[in-house]
Amino acid sequence: MYLMCKVLFMLLISQVYSSPRKKSYSEIKSCNVGNLAEEIASYDSVVRDIMNYVVSGPFKRKTYDELEKFVDKFGARISGSQVLEDSIDYMIKLTQDEDLTDIVTEELEVPHWVREQEKITMLKPRSKNIAVLGLGKSISTPPEGVTADVVVFSNFEEFDNASIEDVKGKIVLFNPIFTTYHETSPYRTHGAARAAEKGAVASLIRSITPFSINSPHAGVQHYSENVTKIPTAAITLEDADLIKRFYNRGEKVVLNIKMHSSFETKTSRNTLIDLKGTKNPEKLVIVSGHIDSWDVGQGAMDDGGGLFVSWAAPIILKRLNLIPKRTVRAIFWTAEELGFVGVNAYAEKHKNESHNINFIMESDEGTFAPRGLSVAGTQEARCIIAEILKLFESINASTLIETDRPLSDIAFIVQNGIPGASLHNANEKYHWFHHTEGDTMNVENPEELDLCTAFWTAVAYIIADISVDIPR
């Protein structure tokens, strides 16, 4: 299964990390959903009940407090690790304690890449230690490391114009200025393979972030077939710019890179929690987030917050005895960070049931103040979701962004025509902490997490309960 997922990952990764195509919001404003608008408006009292229960009632700070205990107990949860499996067991027990017992786990093979020794030393034009984080599944260097001159490129266009002689035997540093994650992350995912094609002995990237306090950012990369694998790592904005300044002045920059890691496959699990529908239990409204994290930081923001708002949705609905017509299913994806392995396994296992997915949602770009949803689907589907979002104008969460590829796991499901959405939230500083040691509980806010929880729960309930399926 893991090998099949790897192939799917290689085929689809460029689509997920490319810029989402957004359409004009004016089309949504002119939607006419007929009598359905009145039906959706009738859920206003349900929205208020859920909001009150979460924001000021018995569930106040519950999401934050449970996330805090989870993060403090387990910390980082790298794919294939025992701590990840223990955290899955913990979430199952936490759910059972809420008297929600319709829980299924589905086993799959996942990559287990373990970071060990990592050190970069600048030898010329002066001696300096360079902060470093190896990129996921990078190969190791020889024990003595790799020592070579550095050649710097600001973008792939500059690199493409360079000759093989300019690159061969060198360490390539890709130093693009951050624009958006989708535009800049290909330097991380594809940089090593591109550099190796011209004979580079190692590759480095400027961390994919707009802001740094000398903090390198981890992330997955992928090697191309029939291209030599070379060690690859991220360095900080500060060190990348220092190297570039030396390079631009014509000074030779020599680095020694020592990296050692191990790689194998392990068994992990996707976790499925169902609140069965009363009328059409076979039809699913899925809320989801991934439970694994990188091995740096604590995975509080990426994706502990998304995990816990999705955990909370069926819990809150059960507590309030709001059982919708369709089933609300919470899914905790495993092994997202090292290649969307969990979601690909789920999609393959359930491919003959995909017609029953009415709508799928994922939170994986922060759980800060909710602003609305980023929605993929037909124009009619978006019109219905836009009508639902009108119920959240009071918390400034009524924005609908049209995209063909909501992030991140569910992109591999919605590409087959299944309507879905990711959480749109006030995450302007998300990539400051993304994939770093700074991803801790300090970046989470209990009030904003409550708003996300209430919003996520109420949207899922309405979609699962209205009289019509979301059209495809």
The C-alpha R_g of the chain, in whole angstroms, comes to 23
265 backbone φψ class: left, alpha, beta (φ>0; ψ -120 to 50): beta
Rounded Cα gap, residues 289 and 397, in angstroms: 20
β-strands 420-425, 370-376 pairing? antiparallel
Q: How many other CB atoms sit within 10 Å of the CB of residue 177?
A: 11
Catalytic, 336? Answer yes
The pair of structure tokens assigned to 164 is 């093989």
The pair of structure tokens assigned to 50 is 């859920």
**CA dihedral for 359, 364, 369, 374, sign (positive or negative):** negative
Rounded Cα gap, residues 418 and 412, in angstroms: 10
Question: Cβ distance 172 to 151 under 8 Å?
Answer: yes
Set 68, 109, 118, 336: catalytic member: 336
Residues marked as catalytic: 336
